[in-house]
Amino acid sequence: MRVKVTLAYDGSDFDGWQKQHHGRTIQGELEKILKKIHKHDVKVVGSGRTDAGVHALGQVFHFDTDLMIPNDKWPLAINALCPDDLRIIKVQSVDETFHARYSAVQKTYQYQVNVGAYNLFQRKMVYQLNASVDLDLIQEAASLLIGTHDFTSFNATSHEEIEDQVRTIHAIDINQEGDIITFTLKGSGFLRYMVRMIVASLLEVGRHRLPINALSYALKHPDKRALNSNVPACGLTLISVHYELL
Protein backbone atom coordinates (compact mmCIF):
# COMPACT_ATOMS: atom_id res chain seq x y z
CA MET A 1 0.00 0.00 0.00
CA ARG A 2 1.25 3.48 -0.88
CA VAL A 3 0.84 6.32 1.59
CA LYS A 4 0.97 10.06 0.83
CA VAL A 5 2.10 12.21 3.74
CA THR A 6 1.97 15.98 4.24
CA LEU A 7 4.40 17.35 6.79
CA ALA A 8 5.76 20.58 8.23
CA TYR A 9 9.22 21.36 9.53
CA ASP A 10 11.41 24.14 10.81
CA GLY A 11 14.46 23.76 8.61
CA SER A 12 16.77 25.85 10.79
CA ASP A 13 18.64 22.89 12.25
CA PHE A 14 18.42 20.54 9.26
CA ASP A 15 21.02 20.09 6.53
CA GLY A 16 18.25 19.99 3.95
CA TRP A 17 15.84 17.29 2.80
CA GLN A 18 18.10 14.71 1.17
CA LYS A 19 19.63 11.97 3.30
CA GLN A 20 23.39 12.29 3.79
CA HIS A 21 26.08 10.15 5.38
CA HIS A 22 26.88 13.04 7.69
CA GLY A 23 24.41 15.69 8.79
CA ARG A 24 20.85 15.83 10.04
CA THR A 25 18.25 15.75 7.25
CA ILE A 26 14.47 15.51 7.02
CA GLN A 27 14.54 12.40 4.84
CA GLY A 28 17.03 10.80 7.19
CA GLU A 29 14.89 11.50 10.27
CA LEU A 30 11.74 10.17 8.58
CA GLU A 31 13.39 6.96 7.41
CA LYS A 32 14.77 6.33 10.91
CA ILE A 33 11.29 6.77 12.38
CA LEU A 34 9.61 4.54 9.79
CA LYS A 35 12.26 1.87 10.33
CA LYS A 36 11.39 1.82 14.04
CA ILE A 37 7.70 1.39 13.20
CA HIS A 38 8.17 -1.24 10.46
CA LYS A 39 11.22 -3.05 11.91
CA HIS A 40 12.88 -2.81 8.48
CA ASP A 41 14.14 -0.14 6.09
CA VAL A 42 11.51 2.04 4.42
CA LYS A 43 12.34 4.40 1.56
CA VAL A 44 10.85 7.90 1.66
CA VAL A 45 10.29 9.77 -1.63
CA GLY A 46 9.80 13.53 -1.36
CA SER A 47 8.14 15.98 -3.74
CA GLY A 48 11.51 17.69 -4.04
CA ARG A 49 14.58 18.66 -2.08
CA THR A 50 14.59 21.66 0.19
CA ASP A 51 18.00 23.09 1.02
CA ALA A 52 19.53 23.52 4.47
CA GLY A 53 17.63 26.13 6.46
CA VAL A 54 14.50 26.06 4.27
CA HIS A 55 11.18 25.43 6.03
CA ALA A 56 7.94 23.71 5.01
CA LEU A 57 4.28 23.92 5.92
CA GLY A 58 3.13 21.48 3.25
CA GLN A 59 5.96 19.27 2.03
CA VAL A 60 4.79 15.92 0.64
CA PHE A 61 6.39 12.49 0.55
CA HIS A 62 5.25 8.94 -0.09
CA PHE A 63 6.30 5.53 1.13
CA ASP A 64 5.10 1.96 0.69
CA THR A 65 3.93 -0.08 3.65
CA ASP A 66 2.46 -3.48 4.47
CA LEU A 67 1.11 -2.27 7.82
CA MET A 68 -2.66 -1.91 8.11
CA ILE A 69 -2.67 1.33 10.08
CA PRO A 70 -5.67 3.67 9.50
CA ASN A 71 -4.86 7.03 7.92
CA ASP A 72 -5.90 8.95 11.03
CA LYS A 73 -3.56 6.86 13.20
CA TRP A 74 -0.42 7.30 11.10
CA PRO A 75 0.22 10.91 12.24
CA LEU A 76 -0.02 9.82 15.87
CA ALA A 77 2.38 6.93 15.32
CA ILE A 78 4.98 8.99 13.46
CA ASN A 79 4.68 12.18 15.52
CA ALA A 80 5.25 10.21 18.72
CA LEU A 81 8.78 9.59 17.43
CA CYS A 82 9.37 12.95 15.72
CA PRO A 83 11.72 15.65 17.00
CA ASP A 84 10.18 18.97 18.00
CA ASP A 85 10.97 20.64 14.64
CA LEU A 86 9.19 18.05 12.47
CA ARG A 87 5.47 17.22 12.38
CA ILE A 88 3.16 15.07 10.25
CA ILE A 89 0.03 16.98 9.23
CA LYS A 90 -1.97 14.51 7.15
CA VAL A 91 -1.77 10.95 5.81
CA GLN A 92 -3.70 9.66 2.83
CA SER A 93 -3.85 6.26 1.09
CA VAL A 94 -3.13 6.61 -2.63
CA ASP A 95 -2.89 4.49 -5.74
CA GLU A 96 0.50 2.89 -6.38
CA THR A 97 0.86 5.02 -9.52
CA PHE A 98 1.09 8.14 -7.32
CA HIS A 99 4.56 9.65 -7.04
CA ALA A 100 5.27 12.51 -4.64
CA ARG A 101 7.66 14.15 -7.10
CA TYR A 102 6.47 13.21 -10.58
CA SER A 103 2.72 13.50 -9.92
CA ALA A 104 3.03 17.08 -8.64
CA VAL A 105 1.55 19.75 -10.93
CA GLN A 106 2.18 22.90 -8.89
CA LYS A 107 4.20 24.09 -5.91
CA THR A 108 3.74 27.20 -3.81
CA TYR A 109 6.66 28.84 -2.04
CA GLN A 110 6.70 31.84 0.27
CA TYR A 111 9.63 34.09 1.06
CA GLN A 112 9.52 36.67 3.86
CA VAL A 113 11.71 39.74 4.21
CA ASN A 114 11.94 42.26 7.04
CA VAL A 115 12.67 45.73 5.62
CA GLY A 116 12.44 47.42 9.02
CA ALA A 117 14.75 47.30 12.02
CA TYR A 118 16.58 44.06 12.78
CA ASN A 119 14.35 41.65 14.68
CA LEU A 120 16.26 39.08 16.71
CA PHE A 121 13.26 36.80 17.15
CA GLN A 122 12.45 36.59 13.42
CA ARG A 123 15.92 35.74 12.24
CA LYS A 124 15.30 32.01 11.68
CA MET A 125 12.13 32.52 9.63
CA VAL A 126 12.41 35.98 8.06
CA TYR A 127 15.33 37.42 6.10
CA GLN A 128 16.57 40.54 7.88
CA LEU A 129 17.24 42.86 4.95
CA ASN A 130 16.69 45.94 7.12
CA ALA A 131 16.60 48.31 4.15
CA SER A 132 13.77 50.13 2.38
CA VAL A 133 12.66 49.04 -1.10
CA ASP A 134 10.41 50.38 -3.86
CA LEU A 135 7.48 47.96 -3.70
CA ASP A 136 5.81 49.29 -6.85
CA LEU A 137 8.99 48.72 -8.83
CA ILE A 138 9.28 45.21 -7.41
CA GLN A 139 5.70 44.46 -8.46
CA GLU A 140 6.44 45.68 -11.98
CA ALA A 141 9.60 43.57 -12.20
CA ALA A 142 7.81 40.47 -10.89
CA SER A 143 5.22 40.68 -13.67
CA LEU A 144 8.00 40.09 -16.22
CA LEU A 145 8.66 36.64 -14.74
CA ILE A 146 5.10 35.31 -15.01
CA GLY A 147 4.64 32.66 -17.68
CA THR A 148 6.82 30.00 -19.28
CA HIS A 149 10.49 30.94 -19.60
CA ASP A 150 13.98 29.50 -19.62
CA PHE A 151 15.07 30.26 -16.05
CA THR A 152 18.73 29.33 -16.56
CA SER A 153 19.78 32.77 -15.29
CA PHE A 154 17.71 32.39 -12.12
CA ASN A 155 18.95 29.12 -10.62
CA ALA A 156 22.06 27.22 -9.62
CA THR A 157 21.21 23.86 -11.21
CA SER A 158 23.81 22.87 -13.80
CA HIS A 159 22.72 21.93 -17.32
CA GLU A 160 24.57 18.65 -16.84
CA GLU A 161 22.18 17.86 -13.98
CA ILE A 162 18.99 19.19 -15.61
CA GLU A 163 19.31 20.19 -19.27
CA ASP A 164 15.81 21.64 -19.70
CA GLN A 165 15.50 24.65 -17.41
CA VAL A 166 12.21 25.92 -18.81
CA ARG A 167 9.62 26.36 -16.07
CA THR A 168 6.22 28.02 -15.73
CA ILE A 169 5.47 30.56 -13.01
CA HIS A 170 1.71 30.94 -12.62
CA ALA A 171 1.73 33.80 -10.13
CA ILE A 172 3.95 35.99 -7.99
CA ASP A 173 2.02 37.78 -5.26
CA ILE A 174 3.82 40.40 -3.19
CA ASN A 175 2.27 41.85 -0.05
CA GLN A 176 3.56 44.05 2.74
CA GLU A 177 2.23 44.13 6.29
CA GLY A 178 4.17 46.48 8.51
CA ASP A 179 7.85 45.84 7.90
CA ILE A 180 7.36 42.33 6.48
CA ILE A 181 7.19 41.78 2.72
CA THR A 182 5.88 38.37 1.67
CA PHE A 183 6.62 36.96 -1.77
CA THR A 184 4.34 34.06 -2.79
CA LEU A 185 5.36 32.17 -5.92
CA LYS A 186 3.25 29.49 -7.61
CA GLY A 187 4.71 27.44 -10.42
CA SER A 188 4.96 24.11 -12.18
CA GLY A 189 8.26 23.46 -10.46
CA PHE A 190 11.36 25.25 -9.24
CA LEU A 191 15.06 24.60 -9.79
CA ARG A 192 17.76 24.86 -7.14
CA TYR A 193 17.87 28.33 -5.56
CA MET A 194 15.33 29.53 -8.16
CA VAL A 195 12.90 31.14 -5.73
CA ARG A 196 15.71 32.69 -3.71
CA MET A 197 17.47 34.07 -6.78
CA ILE A 198 14.21 35.51 -8.12
CA VAL A 199 13.50 37.20 -4.79
CA ALA A 200 17.10 38.46 -4.60
CA SER A 201 16.85 39.97 -8.08
CA LEU A 202 13.52 41.62 -7.28
CA LEU A 203 14.97 43.11 -4.10
CA GLU A 204 17.95 44.44 -6.06
CA VAL A 205 15.51 46.11 -8.46
CA GLY A 206 13.54 47.48 -5.51
CA ARG A 207 16.72 48.98 -4.05
CA HIS A 208 17.63 50.54 -7.42
CA ARG A 209 20.75 48.39 -7.63
CA LEU A 210 19.60 46.47 -10.72
CA PRO A 211 17.72 47.93 -13.71
CA ILE A 212 14.36 46.32 -14.34
CA ASN A 213 15.28 45.51 -17.94
CA ALA A 214 18.09 43.29 -16.63
CA LEU A 215 15.44 40.70 -15.74
CA SER A 216 13.98 40.74 -19.25
CA TYR A 217 17.47 40.40 -20.69
CA ALA A 218 18.26 37.47 -18.38
CA LEU A 219 15.13 35.64 -19.57
CA LYS A 220 15.87 36.26 -23.25
CA HIS A 221 19.59 35.48 -22.94
CA PRO A 222 19.88 32.57 -20.46
CA ASP A 223 23.27 32.59 -18.77
CA LYS A 224 24.37 31.23 -15.39
CA ARG A 225 26.65 34.26 -15.02
CA ALA A 226 23.91 36.83 -15.65
CA LEU A 227 22.56 37.15 -12.10
CA ASN A 228 24.57 36.18 -9.04
CA SER A 229 22.27 37.52 -6.31
CA ASN A 230 20.82 35.17 -3.73
CA VAL A 231 19.02 35.56 -0.41
CA PRO A 232 19.41 33.40 2.73
CA ALA A 233 17.51 30.14 3.09
CA CYS A 234 15.88 31.20 6.37
CA GLY A 235 13.13 33.26 4.72
CA LEU A 236 11.92 30.47 2.42
CA THR A 237 9.01 28.12 3.16
CA LEU A 238 7.44 25.45 0.96
CA ILE A 239 3.74 26.16 1.50
CA SER A 240 2.06 23.42 -0.53
CA VAL A 241 2.37 20.84 -3.28
CA HIS A 242 -0.66 20.37 -5.53
CA TYR A 243 -1.71 17.13 -7.22
CA GLU A 244 -4.40 17.29 -9.89
CA LEU A 245 -6.23 14.07 -9.11
CA LEU A 246 -6.13 14.22 -5.30
Read off the pLDDT of residues 2-27 as tens digits, 9 standing for 90 and up: 999 999 999 999 999 999 988 999 99
Three-class SS of 151-169: CHHHCCCCCCCCCCCEEEE
Domain boundaries, the chain: 2-94, 105-243
pLDDT value of position 245: 67
Amino acid (1-letter code) at residue 146: I
pLDDT digits (tens, 9 = 90+) for 187-200: 999 999 999 999 99
Enumerate the active-site residues.
51
CATH for 2-94 is 3.30.70.580
Q: Maximum CA pair distance of the chain?
A: 58
Domains 2-94 and 105-243 share a fold: yes
Alpha helices per DSSP H over 61-102? 74-79
Higher pLDDT, 222 or 186: 186
pLDDT digits (tens, 9 = 90+) for 59-115: 999 999 999 999 999 999 999 999 999 999 999 999 999 999 999 999 999 999 999
- Check whether 217 is labelled as a binding-site residue: no
Q: Taking the model in full, what pTM does it have?
A: 0.95
Measured over the CA atoms of residue 214, residue 49, residue 174 and residue 241, the dihedral's sign is positive
Looking from the CA of 96 toward its CB, the CA atoms found within 13 Å total: 4
Contact by Cβ (8 Å): 113, 180: yes
Contact by Cβ (8 Å): 201, 211: no
Q: Which of the four CATH numbers 3.30.70.660, 3.30.1390.20, 3.40.50.1370, 3.40.50.150 does domain 105-243 have?
A: 3.30.70.660
Q: List the beta strands (DSSP E) in 1-85.
A: 2-9, 45-46, 55-64
Contact by Cβ (8 Å): 13, 24: yes
